[in-house]
Amino acid sequence: MCLNYAVCKDSIYVSIFIFVCYFCRMIEINPQRESTDTAQYQGRRKKLVKELMAQYCYNENVINAISIVPRHIFVEPGLTHLAYLDKPLPIASGQTISQPSTVALQSHLLGDVKGKKVLEIGTGCGYQTAVLAQMGAVVSSIERQKELCRIANSNLKKLGYRNITLYWGDGYKGLDANAPFDAILVTCGAEKIPEPLLLQLSIGGNMVIPVGENNKEQQMLVITRTGEREFDRAYAGKCSFVPMLEGVVK
Ligand code: SAH
């Protein structure tokens, strides 16, 4: 009798433990559970995803991530009504949140990132970072402006991803201590391709980077490392990003 009671008590504890684990996992996988994600935002997000799918055949993991990550929590409080338009919007420190179709294209061009180590340059408000994390990447993201690091950290905290690490630093230098990366995504326009980033890419890995003169039209470049010192390049169209600048801002 006494033994049965102990077994029963144990199985209750085990069931509670499994329930808590499952619940935590649900929150991690479905960040749209964030309480501000109203039916209206969800409806607008669905519409945006439909528009994106009509424009281009993005890979399924990208579309799934964009349909889950709540973009309205990354935009300025007065602009949330515009969060699900396919437009870049101003954020703090004179920077912008990339437009959803750009985020979709860059994420698509990286290839399969599930379970892969990805380095992002230019965290901004953290939206692209969240999309990569939702796609299953283990993300390290560097931002040069301290204020934006703080904002991105606070935005991303609301979603509870555990596969993101943010760094304040100069993305031109990359993150040598954590290299190599399976993929590198640069979300600002570089005048020159940063050599350290090329060397921090795994062989077989892709780097997606907008390249061109500051404040002029850029080209989206996909660079694949094919050997120790060999790289393939492919162009993926014209684009327009805020400039990649050297040094950090306190
Ligand atoms: N990934 C963002 C885009 C932000 S805009 C999104 O999801 O919308 C590009 C960002 O790159 C800006 O925040 C800018 O401050 C940052 N940036 C520019 N040069 C940089 C550098 N050398 N290192 C790190 N970040 C840089």
- Give the start-to-end residue ranges of the domains of the chain: 34-239
The whole-number pLDDT of residue 27 equals 44
* CA-closest residue to ligand 1 atom 19: 244
Are the beta carbons of 129 and 153 closer than 8 angstroms?
A: no
Per the DSSP assignment, residues forming a β-bridge with 231 are 225
At 20 the pLDDT is 52
pLDDT single digits (tens) 73-84: 999 999 999 999
Mean pLDDT of the chain: 90
Find the angle CA(123)-CA(229)-CA(221) to the nearest 5 degrees: 40
What is the model's pLDDT at position 1?
Answer: 38
Is residue 3 predicted with pLDDT exceeding 70? no
**Atom in ligand 1 nearest the alpha carbon of residue 103:** 7
* Residue-level pLDDT at 10: 61
Asked if 83 contacts 71 with a C-beta cutoff of 8 angstroms, the reply is yes
Q: Cis before residue 70, ω within 30 degrees of 0?
A: no
From ligand 1's centre to the CA of 121, what distance in Å? 6
Condensed to tens digits (0 to 9), the pLDDT of residues 137-189 reads 999 999 999 999 999 999 999 999 999 999 999 999 999 999 999 999 999 99
pLDDT value for 35: 67
At 216, is the pLDDT very low, low, confident or very high (cuts 50, 70, 90)? confident
Task: Kindly state the percentage of the chain with pLDDT values over 90.
Answer: 84
Report helix, strand or coil for 106: helix
Instruction: Output the six-digit token pair for 118.
Output: 């990805």
CATH number of 34-239: 3.40.50.150
First to last CA, the chain: 67
State pLDDT tens for residues 96-119: 999 999 999 999 999 999 999 999
Residue 101 is among the residues annotated as catalytic for this protein:
no
**Which of 119, 131, 144 to mutate to test ligand 1, by most ligand atoms within 8 A of the CB atom?**
144
Under a CB-based contact definition with an 8 Å cutoff, are residues 74 and 126 in contact?
yes
Residue 222: its pLDDT value, please? Answer: 98
* 7 alpha-carbon distance from chain centroid: 46
Whether the CB-CB separation of 97 and 80 falls below 8 Å is answered with no
Residue closest by Cα to atom 4 of ligand 1: 124
For the residues 11-37, what does the mean pLDDT come to? 54
Instruction: Give bridge partners of residue 225 from the DSSP assignment.
Output: 231
CA atoms within 13 A on the CB side of 162: 6
Phi/psi for 104 (5° steps) reads -65, -45
Ligand 1 binding site (Cβ under 6 Å of any ligand atom) = 95-98, 121-124, 127-128, 142-145, 148, 170-172, 187-188, 242, 244-246
For 184-212, what is each residue's pLDDT tens digit?
999 999 999 999 999 999 999 999 999 99
